[in-house]
Structure 1
Amino acid sequence: MALVSISEAARLTGKSRKTIHTYVTSGKVTKVTDTQGRPKIDTSELIRVFGDIKVTDSKQKSQCNFSQDVTPKIVTPAVTENHQIEILKKEVEMLRELLAEKDKRNDDLKHALMLIESKLPKTPEPAPEPQPEKVTPTVTETVTPVATKKNWMFWKN
């Protein structure tokens, strides 16, 4: 196929020049040099990596899409919609089965919990703890406070 410059490759693929350079440095796109030493990219490489490319002729201003597909794909909308409907019906049925299994498991767990609770001995109400009697101290002597010298009062005698 034809060799194009990096700017032209960016225009054809709709990507930026920086993206094309990144693909070249990472090895996703192969770069070749022409006879004058300028970097070029083969359009087959662009189609391989990016799929369809847009070619515009400056005189005609029309877009042509190149594709890698050799044979055209003919898909009728009715067949596709019917297929999607069947897939969705199967998915709904599968989800209903999963929901039924989950409900059954929850019921089994509730039943097991009730069996466990019924086998536990009844715990009696805790008896109130006896409160100690309050004792009032009786004063038999009079105590006179003694003035003590604090350690930070070292200058006082």
Structure 2
Amino acid sequence: MAWHTITEAQKLTGKSRRTLYRDMATGRLSWEPEGDSARRLETSELIRVYGELKPLAQPEEKKQAHADTVNGTPDTALILAELKALREEMAELRQAMRLLEYKPDLPPPDTPGTAEIVPNEKPIPWWRRSLFRQ
């Protein structure tokens, strides 16, 4: 017969992990080591101790996207039109942001009426400052 892991045995018997390990420790349920720390149980042993097993394999349902947004539905055209309008609006907003952020360049220093810009001197670090200010 087939061999099962503890997790599979839990699903087949409906018993808890603790119950399975307790029955293995008392000798009620026989098992074989699998690798260094795993155990495996035979199907016939599970049937002998716990009776009829639950069906393990259940049919998997076909996974499908939301039924309302499948390609070809009438709402698809509406969604695509709204998406296009939103993209156009975003482009307009980006253009408006660029205009708002526009800063004209400073006039060249040789033009009359403009003051010469002097870079600020770096402040003196606290450890170089005089203790007694004058």
TM-score above 0.5: no
Greater Rg over alpha carbons, structure: 1
Could you say which structure has the greater relative contact order, defined with CA pairs below 8 angstroms and 6 or more residues apart?
A: 2
TM-score (structure 2 length as normaliser) = 0.41
TM-score (structure 1 length as normaliser) = 0.35
